[in-house]
Amino acid sequence: MAGQGPESPRQKMINLMYIVLMAMLALNVSSDVLNGFSLVDSSLNRSTTNSTIQNKAMYEDLDYYMEKNPEKVRMWYDKAQYVKNISDSLFNYVQELKEAIVKQADGEDGDVLNIQNKEDLEAAAYIMLSPNRGEGQNLCDNINKYRNAIVEMVEDSVQKRIITDNLSTEVPDDPNLLAKNWQEYIFENTPVAAAVTILTKLQNDIRYAEGEVIHTLVSYIDIGDLRVNEVNAYVIPNSKTIVRGGEFSANIILAAVDSTQKPDIYVGGKLLPKEKNGEYKVICNALGDFTLKGYMELTQGDGSKLKREFSQEYTVIEPSATVSATMMNVLYAGYDNPISISVPGVANSKITATIANGNGTIKPANGGYIVRPASVGKDVVIAVSARTNDGRTQSMGQYTFRVRQLPDPTPFIEYSDKGTVKRYRGGTGLPKSVLMGTKGIVAAIDDGLLNINFRVLGFETVFFDNMGNAVPEVSKGADFTDRQKDMFRRLSRGKRFYISRVRAVGPDGIERVLPTSLEVIVN
């Protein structure tokens, strides 16, 4: 009888690659990452094909059982056909969306298996998010409907949770997402290569969920009534990818065995104690690929021994975490730099971060962390650890960031126009009435990435008389002096003056003289 077990080590690594590539995409890295998505997509397609073959084998088993004993099998057979229909329907719909996105990017000859414009940021949004015709909401609704139908047919709480997580349409509780819905969170500003990979993973999750349900339905049938020689041994691990120092555990069972009769289980030639109920555990301290091998023996009614071998691969990996600056690729000294830290498979509440080399402080804030480096020229080393499910604290590595001084701000005149605050940066005409109504100047870093205000300590205005002589006037604060305002009143239309030698201090406490001047043209 064909069975559906937990995800293979290959599938686990594919999922890990998928998460890493999504994180790298969020950091706006090079086009090489897009090729990485193609590799993950190909691996996901192969995994999906394997799941489809396994599911087909179980459907064939059900067909055989239905032919042999329709009265007993019909209820499970009908449910299996229902699962097949809704799974194929959603799977094919997702395939249509992939093809539509690729054709939007590459034209009518576009091929999902050979995408040309992988970096196209508009195709996925057009197909999924465009007003009135976008498919995003429909896909979200269909996923929710499918997930609810599938979960109702699974009894095991662990499998329920896995399927629910895989097919979740919940959006992370992150204020930076600006209340986006699921389809906006997934497909907004998403390159074609990433969008296709996301949809391929959804297809993989559909086949996985389908297989779990069919495996459950087949298990309800008493195999002994049909063909005893199909009894097999199975290994159900808690996970097939283990962080070094973590614990690998697995349940080793014989499918369709009488619950009152427990088989003898041998691992490495040693008999497992009966009281373990087939649970096997070992501490994993070495990295690499490993195989759990052994056999089971069951005494049958005629006294003969039924022996079945089992084998399960698993992988032990290094501890890892993802640490990324939320707004920038470097950290600025004396400034509260927001960063995000995550560990795959670990809740944020179980993650701890510290500054390993003492250059600054780190503290939780707004779902992430705030890092404030103490000095320029010395890297900040962030050490990450996590509390595992077995209660241990596991190191997840150290991550180094360069530290720079905050860049110089830009001086400008800030004023209100019909309730809207505007910033005059020079080079164009400024109404004299606005100039006269302005209290002084301000300085800030305002480049679309950072928005940091500086305190102005003083500045100089330079006017020119009718002879072309420069007439400087110095202000000892951020406000215009009375003499400077008097000079403003004398300026006629088209005249100009300059604001220079601006002294300002930022949140890092460093006083600086700004190298740029502000040219003011009276309109």
Sign, CA torsion 8/13/14/20: positive
The mean pLDDT of the chain is: 84
The pLDDT score that the predictor gives to residue 103 is 94
- pLDDT tens sequence across 31-57: 556 666 777 878 888 888 999 999 999
Among residues 179, 154, 177, 181, the alpha carbon closest in space to that of 166 is found at 154
Higher-scoring residue by pLDDT: 29, 241: 241
Quick one: pLDDT band at residue 312, thresholds 50, 70, 90? Answer: confident
Distance CA 106, CA 175 (A): 35
Express as a percent the part of the chain with pLDDT over 70: 82
pLDDT band of residue 229 (cuts 50, 70, 90) is very low
CA distance 63 to 326: 54
- Per-residue pLDDT for 349 more than 90? no
Residue type present at position 212: E
| Cα separation, 149 vs 508, whole angstroms | 56
Contact (CB, 8 A) for 256 and 231: yes
Cβ atoms of 203 and 95 within 8 Å: the answer is yes
Higher model confidence: residue 402 or residue 241?
Answer: 402
Q: Measuring CA to CA, which residue among 8, 71, 76, 73 is closest to residue 43?
A: 8
Both tokens assigned to 41: 């997509």
Q: Indicate if the pLDDT at residue 6 is higher than 60.
A: no
Q: Which of residues 225 and 204 earns the better pLDDT score?
A: 204
Q: Who wins on pLDDT, 263 or 138?
A: 138
The pLDDT value recorded for residue 3 is 46
pLDDT at residue 233, as a whole number: 75
State the pLDDT at residue 146.
95
pLDDT digit string, tens, across residues 186-208: 898 899 988 999 999 999 999 99
CA distance 273 to 251: 13
β pairing state of 279-283 and 247-254? antiparallel
Domains recognised in the chain with CATH numbers: 9-224 (no CATH), 231-318 (2.60.40.1930), 322-404 (2.60.40.1080), 410-522 (no CATH)
Share of the chain above pLDDT 90, in %: 49
pLDDT score, position 412: 94
Burial tier of 325 (Cβ tally within 10 Å: 0-12, 13-18, 19+):
middle
Q: Residue 371's pLDDT is what?
A: 96
Burial category of 102 from C-beta neighbours within 10 Å (exposed 0-12, middle 13-18, buried 19 and up): buried
The angle subtended at Cα 39 by Cα 37 and Cα 45, nearest 5°, is 100
- Model confidence at 465: pLDDT above 90: no
Q: Which amino acid is at 97?
A: L
Which tokens go with 7?
């995800």
> What pLDDT was estimated at residue 47?
86
Amino acid 26: pLDDT: 46
- Range scoring the smallest mean pLDDT among 145-159, 223-237, 308-322, 360-374: 223-237
User: Closest by alpha carbon to 353, among 386, 320, 328?
Assistant: 386
**Residue 352 clears pLDDT 90, i.e. is over it:** yes
Of 238, 338, 246, whose CA–CA distance to 280 is shortest? 238
Coil/strand/helix, residue 516 = coil
**Residue 515 near residue 408 (C-beta atoms within 8 A):** yes
Is residue 244 over pLDDT 70?
A: no
Distance CA 392, CA 168 (A): 29
**Which pLDDT belongs to residue 326?**
55
Quote the pTM value: 0.41
Model confidence over 443-463: pLDDT tens digits?
999 877 778 999 999 999 999
Lowest-confidence pick of 171-180, 184-193, 213-222: 171-180
The answer to whether 106 and 193 have CB atoms below 8 angstroms apart is no
pLDDT of res. 81: 95
Angle at 500 between CA 496 and CA 502, to 5 degrees: 140
Say what the pLDDT of residue 311 is. Answer: 87
User: Does 182 or 241 have the greater pLDDT score?
Assistant: 182
Please tell me which residue, 242 or 365, carries the higher pLDDT value. Answer: 365
Which pLDDT value is given to residue 463?
Answer: 95
The two three-digit tokens of residue 45, written as one number: 């397609």
Q: Which residues of 430-469 are buried (b: 16+ CB within 10 A; e: fewer)?
A: bebebbeebebbbbbbbeeeeebebebbebbbebeeeeee
| Count of C-beta atoms within a 10 Å radius of residue 427 | 11
Residue 439 is predicted with a pLDDT of: 94
pLDDT band at 222 (very low <50, low <70, confident <90, very high): low
**Pairing, β 393-401 against β 380-387:** antiparallel
11: left (phi over 0), alpha (psi -120 to 50) or beta: alpha
The three-point CA angle 128-133-138 to 5° equals 60
User: What pLDDT, on a 0 to 100 scale, did the predictor assign at position 224?
Assistant: 40
- Rounded to 10 degrees, what is the CA torsion of 117, 120, 126, 128? 90
Q: What residue spans of 152-295 are helical by DSSP H? A: 157-166, 182-187, 192-219
Tell me the pLDDT band of 2, cut-offs 50, 70 and 90.
very low
Q: Are 373 and 403 in contact (CB under 8 A)?
A: yes
Taking a C-beta distance cutoff of 8 angstroms, is the pair 411, 518 a contact?
A: yes
379-405 pLDDT, tens per residue?
A: 999 999 998 767 788 888 899 999 999
- Tokens representing residue 445 in the block: 């870093």
pLDDT score at 466: 83
Mean pLDDT of 301-306: 67
* Tokens found for residue 238: 């808690």
pLDDT at 454: 96
- Coil, helix or strand for 5? coil
Quote the CA–CA distance of 113 and 118 in Å, as a whole number: 11
